[in-house]
Chains A and B, each alone.
Chain A
Amino acid sequence: MIISIASGKGGTGKTTLAINLALSLEKNVQYLDCDVEEPNGHIFVKPTFDEKKSFGMPIPVVDFDKCDYCGKCGEICEYNAIVVIKQNVLVFPDLCHSCAGCWLVCPQKAISTKDKEVGQLELGNRNGIEFIHGKLNVGESLSPPLIRAVKEKMDPTKTVIIDSPPGTSCPVIEAIKESDFVVLVTEPTPFGFNDLKLAVEMVRKIGLNFGVIINRADVGNRDVHDYCTRENIPILMEINNDRKIAEAYSRGVPIVELYPEYRDKFLALYQDIERRVGA
């Protein structure tokens, strides 16, 4: 079963939920941190990494013995990442999206490719949890290919927990699209409510089964609760605001290690999700 933990905005406790669920399940779990711009699940899961791979994307290399400066590569590039100026073809690796347009269009077959590293993939373990994350290099902005690379490591015989990037844009959809169930984490504040509505719209559009977890449920107002009732969205769990949880979080200590009794709550959450997926 594939469960994604997502959130319309950052800072709602999405990662906290994902790691505590994974740690509660203990066995046969795979944790995929797809929040590749800011992966932080490893701080809590504390896996031992035993494999590190560079992740690269192809960029063009021009063979000037074959090039006749026709300009076609520059015309097709949406990003001005390859520009033909007089008797010169310039490539700007930081602008290239690796769309392959230039090397496919080149009439002289003058363009080959080389890989440019955009991030790394790290694979590790902690007890029964197989941990995989992608780390996008600073300054890179194109995360979906790296998210795909993380997901290629997915093992469907395990319970897969995906920590999605925050928001509702392409990288999120890339992370969650094959999930059996999506957990949307929110807060009962006006901002939280607004972002939740956008996230609900997104998962409904993709057609995924989903439910909501309300974090810091006792601060803010009842708008999120009322909305979920009105829209027939299950509220799977509510976690009250607790200074100790927040403090432990800042030291990299998950809730289930602070309050072992929470383990049962997360197991119940898992069983609830299992039932909803089965139904």
Chain B
Amino acid sequence: MKIAVTAKGGSLSAQTDERFGRCKYFVIVDSDTMGFTIIENPSFGAASGAGPAAAREISKHSVEVLLTGNVGVNAQQALDAVGVKVVTGIGGLTVKEAVENYLKQQ
């Protein structure tokens, strides 16, 4: 299963970012292998509609779960449309910790 985490840096040990639409990076972790890919968020500096655009971006990578902090109404609608499950509450964690936490809770 692919899990996307919003992050301030491009690695597993990077701090998570609580913003979804305007985070700097998405770290996409494969929970089976713990291998990961890093995507720069193209809507990091977007003036308008960063949430929907970010949702479009992660949907290209067959993500099933998104770990983040805050998701706006528009972003939520876009994520619902592509069937990405949103889990919030990653404040203060690293990417790796956020993923491990999530998997433990399953």
- Point out residues on A near B: beta carbons under 8 Å: 74, 77-81, 83-86, 88, 90, 92, 94-95
Whether A83 contacts B82 by the Cβ 8 Å rule is no
How distant is B68 from chain A, measured CB to nearest CB, in Å? Answer: 17
- Cα-based distance from A83 to B50 in the complex (angstroms): 11
The residue that B49 contacts in the complex, of A83, A84, A85, A88, with Cβ under 8 A, is A83
For B23, list chain A residues within 8 Å (CB): none
Give the residue of A78, A86, A88, A94 whose beta carbon is less than 8 angstroms from that of B74. A94
| A80 touching B82 in the complex, CB below 8 Å, given contacts A86-B59, A90-B77 | no
A86 and B82 contact, Cβ closer than 8 Å, known pairs A92-B74, A95-B74: yes
Q: Which residue of A lies closest to B81 (CB)?
A: A88
Please give the distance in Å from B44's CB to the nearest CB on chain A: 13
Interface of B is mostly: helix
Question: How far is it, in angstroms, between the C-alpha of A260 and the C-alpha of B74 when the chains are bound?
Answer: 54
Please report which residues of chain B, range 55-97, place their CB below 8 angstroms from some CB of chain A when the two chains form the complex: 55-56, 59, 74, 77-78, 81-82
- Name the CB-closest residue of B to A88: B81
B→A interface (CB under 8 Å): 43, 46-50, 52-53, 55-56, 59, 74, 77-78, 81-82
Q: Are B49 and A92 closer than 8 Å at their CB atoms?
A: yes
- Taking a contact as CB atoms under 8 Å apart, the answer to whether B81 and A90 are in contact is yes
Inter-chain CA distance A92–B46, complex, in Å, is: 15
> Nearest Cβ in chain B — how far from A64, in angstroms?
13
B81 touches A80 (CB 8 A): no
With a cutoff of 8 Å between Cβ atoms, the chain A residues found around residue B74 in the complex are: 92, 94-95
CB-CB under 8 A from B43, the residues of chain A are: 80
A residues less than 8 Å from B53 (CB atoms): 80, 83
By beta carbon, the residue of chain B nearest A74 is: B56
A81 to B48, CA, bound (A): 8
Chain A residues whose CB sits within 8 angstroms of the CB of B48 once the complex forms? 78-81, 95
Q: How far is the CB of B43 from chain A (nearest CB, A)?
A: 7
- C-alpha gap A172/B78 in the complex (Å): 35
Set A77, A79, A83: member contacting B78, Cβ < 8 A: A83
**A78 CB → nearest B CB, Å:** 7
Which of B46, B47, B78 is the one whose CB lies under 8 Å from A90?
B78
Query: Is the pair A90, B59 in contact by a Cβ cutoff of 8 Å?
Result: no
Contacts of A84 in B (CB 8 A): 56
Q: Which listed residue (B47, B50, B81) contacts A85, Cβ 8 A?
A: B81
